[in-house]
């Protein structure tokens, strides 16, 4: 039997893909191992979103040379977005890479692995597909806590944001058959899972059309939520341009649909949003925030933001800070702009904000967000939440952690509670990142 070791970088979608890869290879008799020293193949599922994501992979490849010296039979393959972006060039640049496989070519992995070992050749398969959704593959849950799992509901993206490499690395948008999604969620629930997160680059464009049937994202959410009130349903990511009221209605209707929306804003300036090709302005975005609050006053809102996009002025940066003050996000992923090959920005704009200036702007956003998150959390003190317990706190075995519907982490004394249980917890204190609670006895 051949052994594979999988390492995953990047977004949740990549983690979901690695579980599909594990499943495809297990069916062909490969075994997934958790110690790299037991492996015949190392598969690295990569991200290309920012230059530093790629540099990290290259550094990892240098480290792996030592492992290869100890195990000369070991073959290294690159999967995912960096594989798709660089294709066979990657094997020229990185000598210890034997194969490169893009996100739509994973079904070919068994034959590629065999070819690489038996014929001692290098191989690259990076063709993108307009139809591949891996709908029939039941993912092997890797590193799972047995409580929450990802379900990929669509692939690809064709929004073409000016900064973004994803349309080039993941291809055209395509949705997966809703029957297979609901079946996967149901099977997870039957295995004891308590939470599923439906994944897509832009879930609001989810659409399944066959004769006589059209299923959009709100309806899909409702179908998954109907499986059981004991199964929590989350999703990521929504594009502000098409966050619909009908989705908000469905979210408000079902208690088990978690009250948490990730709505990447990217910038607070209308000129920059236009340059980014985001198809909304700040007024539209704030209208969507108001709609979320109208339907679900207790919904948490999180975002992504980019500091120092091409030509961004100090005033426009201040508009981003102003947006943060208006929305008061519960959490934000904050990035410095990184110019990516082939994007609209690379072809038509200049990366003209000096690195030090990008850093300063990013740090200002981070500082402001830290303050807002702490203030938001302080308002939670005294409230009681239903918490899905996920495991032991990293700091102490005597404490457990879990999340409320808003996706906030709450830590509390364990008593006789077990991971996987729903419990009521009263918030008694907080930091900017965590709520501290006490278990309610009744
Ligand atoms: N530079 C910096 N951040 C980027 N993102 C996407 N492309 C880039 C880039 N070139 C950010 C966006 C997106 C998140 C996943 O990554 O904020 O929402
Ligand atoms: Fe995910 Fe985008 Fe990174 Fe690809 S490039 S792994 S889609 S974040």
Q: What is the pLDDT of residues 49-82, one digit of tens each?
A: 999 999 999 999 999 999 999 999 999 999 999 9
Q: Please answer whether residues 97 and 78 qualify as being in contact, where contact means their C-beta atoms are separated by less than 8 angstroms.
A: yes
Ligand 1 centre to CA of 160 (Å) is 12
Ligand 1 centre to CA of 328 (Å) is 20
- For ligand 1, say whether the CB of 49 is within 6 Å of any of its atoms: yes
pLDDT of residue 191: 97
- CATH number for the segment(s) 384-439: 2.40.50.140
Residue 303 CA: which ligand is closest?
1
Residue 221 token pair:
């959410």
Question: Between vectors from CA 317 to CA 314 and to CA 318, what angle results, nearest 5°?
Answer: 90
In the chain, CATH 3.40.50.12160 sits at 3-125
pLDDT of residue 212: 86
Q: Tell me the C-alpha distance between 237 and 63, whole Å.
A: 33
pLDDT of residue 211: 86
CATH architecture of 144-258: 2-Layer Sandwich (3.30)
- For ligand 2, say whether the CB of 158 is within 6 Å of any of its atoms: no
pLDDT of residue 442: 61
At 332 the three-state DSSP class reads strand
In the chain, CATH 2.40.50.140 sits at 384-439
Mean pLDDT of the chain: 97
Tell me which of 159, 164, 303 to substitute to probe ligand 1's pocket, judged by most ligand atoms within 8 Å of the beta carbon. 164
Q: Tell me the C-alpha distance between 199 and 262, whole Å.
A: 12
Q: Phi-psi region for residue 143, left (φ > 0), alpha (ψ -120 to 50) or beta?
A: left
Ligand 1 centre to CA of 164 (Å) is 6
Ligand 1 centre to CA of 340 (Å) is 10
- Take atom 1 of ligand 2 and give the residue whose Cα is closest: 11
Ligand 1 centre to CA of 264 (Å) is 10
With respect to CATH, is domain 3-125 assigned 3.90.1150.200?
Answer: no
Note the residue count of the chain: 442
pLDDT of residue 1: 81
Q: CB neighbours of 212 closer than 8 A, spacing ≥ 6?
A: none
Pairing of strands 409-413, 435-439: parallel
Residue 224 token pair:
């998954």
In the numeric block, the tokens 């998150």 are attached to 373
Ligand 1 atom having least distance to the Cα of 333 = 17
Q: CB neighbours of 277 closer than 8 A, spacing ≥ 6?
A: 159, 160, 161, 162, 344
Ligand 1 centre to CA of 422 (Å) is 35
Q: Tell me the C-alpha distance between 328 and 96, whole Å.
A: 47
pLDDT of residue 406: 98
Ligand 2 centre to CA of 310 (Å) is 21
- For ligand 2, say whether the CB of 340 is within 6 Å of any of its atoms: no
Q: What is the pTM of this model?
A: 0.96
CA distances from 140 to 77, 316, 412 (A): 19, 45, 31
- For ligand 1, say whether the CB of 264 is within 6 Å of any of its atoms: yes
- For ligand 1, say whether the CB of 30 is within 6 Å of any of its atoms: no
| pLDDT one-digit tens code per residue, 224-267 | 999 999 999 999 999 999 999 999 999 999 999 999 999 999 99
**CATH classification number, 292-379, choose in 3.90.230.10, 3.30.70.260, 3.10.129.10, 3.30.750.200:** 3.30.750.200
Q: Tell me the C-alpha distance between 279 and 287, whole Å.
A: 14
Tell me which of 335, 339, 353, 362 to substitute to probe ligand 1's pocket, judged by most ligand atoms within 8 Å of the beta carbon. 335
- For ligand 2, say whether the CB of 47 is within 6 Å of any of its atoms: yes
Q: Please answer whether residues 289 and 247 qualify as being in contact, where contact means their C-beta atoms are separated by less than 8 angstroms.
A: no
Return the DSSP state at 307: E
Residue 21 token pair:
């890869």
Ligand 1 centre to CA of 95 (Å) is 29
- For ligand 1, say whether the CB of 308 is within 6 Å of any of its atoms: no
Weakly modelled stretches of the chain, pLDDT under 50:
none
In the chain, CATH 3.30.750.210 sits at 144-258
């Amino acid at each position: 039997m051949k052994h594979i070791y999988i390492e995953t970088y990047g977004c949740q979608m990549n983690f979901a893909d690695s579980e599909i890869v594990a499943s495809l290879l297990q069916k062909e008799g490969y075994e997934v191992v958790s110690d790299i020293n037991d492996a015949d193949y190392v598969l690295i599922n990569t991200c290309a979103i920012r230059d530093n994501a790629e540099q990290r992979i290259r550094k990892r490849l240098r480290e792996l040379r030592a492992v290869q010296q100890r195990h000369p039979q070991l073959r290294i393959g690159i999967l995912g977005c960096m594989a798709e972006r660089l294709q066979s060039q990657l094997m020229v640049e990185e000598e210890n890479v034997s194969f490169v496989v893009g996100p739509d070519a994973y079904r070919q992995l068994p034959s590629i692995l065999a070819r690489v070992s038996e014929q001692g050749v290098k191989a690259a398969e990076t063709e993108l597909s307009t139809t591949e959704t891996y709908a029939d593959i039941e993912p092997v849950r890797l590193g799972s806590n047995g409580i929450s799992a990802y379900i990929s509901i669509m692939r690809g993206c064709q929004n073409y944001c000016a900064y973004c490499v994803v349309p080039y690395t993941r291809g055209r948008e395509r949705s997966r058959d809703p029957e297979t999604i609901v079946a996967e969620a149901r099977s997870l629930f039957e295995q004891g899972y308590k939470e599923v997160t439906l994944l897509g680059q832009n879930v609001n464009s989810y659409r399944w059309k066959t004769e006589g049937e059209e299923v959009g994202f709100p309806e899909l959410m409702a179908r998954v939520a109907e499986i059981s009130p004991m199964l929590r349903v989350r999703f990521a990511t929504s594009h502000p341009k098409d966050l619909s009221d009908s989705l908000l209605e469905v979210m408000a209707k079902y208690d088990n649909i978690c009250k948490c929306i990730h709505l990447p804003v990217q910038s607070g300036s209308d000129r920059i949003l236009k340059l980014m090709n985001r198809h909304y302005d700040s007024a539209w975005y704030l209208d969507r925030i108001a709609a979320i609050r109208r339907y679900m006053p207790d919904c948490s809102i999180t975002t992504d933001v980019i500091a120092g996009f091409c030509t961004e002025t100090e005033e426009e940066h201040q508009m981003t800070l102003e947006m943060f003050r208006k929305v008061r996000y519960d959490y934000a992923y904050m990035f410095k702009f990184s110019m990516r090959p082939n994007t609209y920005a690379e072809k038509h704009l200049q990366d003209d904000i000096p690195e030090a200036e990008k850093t300063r702007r990013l740090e200002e956003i981070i500082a402001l967000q830290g303050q807002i998150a702490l203030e938001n959390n302080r308002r939670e003190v005294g409230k009681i939440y239903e918490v899905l317990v996920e495991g032991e706190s990293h700091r102490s075995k005597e404490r457990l952690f879990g999340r409320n519907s808003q996706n906030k982490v709450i830590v509390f004394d364990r008593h006789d509670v077990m991971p996987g249980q729903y419990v009521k917890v009263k918030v008694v204190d907080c930091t900017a990142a965590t709520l501290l609670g006490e278990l309610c006895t009744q």
